[in-house]
Amino acid sequence: MRVSLFLQKQIIECSKAFQPHSTRLQWPKSQDKVFVAMSGGVDSSFSAYLLKSQGYNVEGVFMRNWLDEDSAPSGCPAERDWATVQKVCKKLNISCRRFNFEKEYWNLVFEPSLDLYENGLTPNPDVSCNRQVKFGALFDALKKHCENNVKGDWWLASGHYAKSVVNIETNESHMCIPTDKRKDQTLFLCTIRKEALEKTIFPLHNWTKENVKKQASSAGFKEIAEKQESQGLCFVSPNVGRKFRKFLQRYLNFSDRPIKVIAGKNVVGEFSGNHGIWSLTVGERCGLSLPQAQSEYFGRWYVWKKDIKNNALYICRGTNNELLMSKCIYLKDWKWCGTKLQNLEKSALSCFVRVRHQQPLQPAKVTWRNPESVKIHFQDKQRAVTPGQVIAVYVNDVCLGGGMVDTVEPEKDFD
């Protein structure tokens, strides 16, 4: 697609608007109230410490999001975390309050994720948790509280590795990639509401994780700095393996039919129905033992497609098989992070995209087909882009927003 002169001009203006000299750090004034979302981990604890050290009026806030701690895939010890938050706040001589968002998490994050799993998709619950709960329900609760109890301006601070800035000319808020590119968490924040972003700061925007742990230890939080990073239910992920699959078995329906495993046009094996076709993700090893002595089965086999209707799993040989590769995908449920760019429909914008956490930014042409539907054409082939996952889009280091993968066009189809 040729880019019109109008769009070329807009791209130039868009890039100019996101240059460092055109923005300033979004940051509270000395008299402002700052609420720090605290989990008991080192990042949020150190964020509270930094703000308190800088003289701000700081208050810690803690969220309980999960009903049954014993059923959580990673334990999610909310009461222990709450005790840690109270201990940190006492040490910093700041108050703290607790919110219960179990209902909101269940209805807005967990159940929708279950629906996606049942339909063979691979959701990213931490993205929806940030939008719906941390920067949704929590933000709304703080806003309501501040209307009658806080004089002057107020802010929500988060220990995420991200950066919020303000365009000097337009006074609009944007979210940017932080100093620590390795820990960049903007992908998980790419769909948060404009209203919330305008009131959010990220104290760790210019810190590296290594320095956070080092300085937190020096500040008297050595025990927190050295403990294993927590991944509660906002980070429900197949990465916790069998424990995660066993956890989801409590909530998902199973087919009594065995799962057919297909290579090419041939059925090469099957899994029992209680294995759950949802438990396998595009791009991972299929887990089926094939006779390696036979040339047609030799090698490592990977999932490249799931057919929920027919309870079938399609596999291919080789980690970089063309069936796992794609250059064109379509997103749905697009959400702008901060200010919407105007007049983009049906125009191709040169951007960068991030398919998964910690992946380097990938150059691509991005076309808004309508306000909620986006087409992405990658410059380089991408492996195992999976329906259901969230993709973030960037101009320079600014995150424009994100959407859910709807369909993927493979580099090659079976004949």
* pLDDT for position 242: 57
* pLDDT for position 412: 57
- From first CA to last CA, the distance across the chain in angstroms is 28
Q: What is the mean pLDDT of the chain?
A: 87
31-159+203-237 and 325-409 agree in CATH topology: no
d(CA 98, CA 83): 11
Q: Is 159 annotated as a binding residue?
A: yes
What is the distance, to the nearest Å, from the Cα of residue 365 to the centroid of all Cα atoms in its chain? 22
For residue 15, pLDDT over 60 is answered with: no
* pLDDT for position 331: 98
Q: Would you call 190 a catalytic residue per the annotation?
A: no
Residues 6+ apart with CB under 8 A from 364: 350, 351, 352, 353, 376, 377, 378, 379
Least confident piece of the model among 226-240, 248-262, 321-335, 400-414: 226-240
Q: Is 95 annotated as a binding residue?
A: no
Residue 92: helix, strand or coil by DSSP?
A: helix
Fold of 325-409: Elongation Factor Tu (Ef-tu); domain 3 (2.40.30)
Give the alpha-carbon dihedral of 31, 36, 40, 42, to 10 degrees: -70
Residues 362-372: what's their mean pLDDT? 92
Residues composing the chain: 415
Reported confidence tier of residue 2, pLDDT bands at 50, 70, 90: very low
Structure tokens at 81: 């975390």
**How does DSSP classify residue 3?**
P
Residues 164-178: what's their mean pLDDT? 93
Q: Is 63 annotated as a binding residue?
A: yes
For residue 267, pLDDT over 70 is answered with: yes
Q: Is 22 annotated as a binding residue?
A: no
Candidate list 129, 190, 286, 316, residue with the active-site label: 129
Residue type, 126: D
For residue 163, pLDDT over 60 is answered with: yes
Q: Is 136 annotated as a binding residue?
A: no
- The residue assigned the tokens 């305008």 is 198
How crowded is residue 194: how many other Cβ atoms within 10 Å of its Cβ?
15
Superfamily of domain 31-159+203-237, CATH level 4? HUPs (3.40.50.620)
Candidate list 14, 76, 89, 234, residue with the active-site label: 234
Q: Is 37 annotated as a binding residue?
A: yes
Q: Is 42 annotated as a binding residue?
A: yes
Q: Would you call 234 a catalytic residue per the annotation?
A: yes
Reported as half-sphere exposure (CB side, CA atoms, 13 A), residue 75 has a value of 7
Domain spans of the chain, in order of start: 31-159+203-237, 259-317, 325-409
Least confident piece of the model among 9-13, 211-215, 403-407: 9-13
Residues 24-46: what's their mean pLDDT? 97
Task: For residue 263, give the nearest of 313, 332, 223 by alpha carbon.
Answer: 313
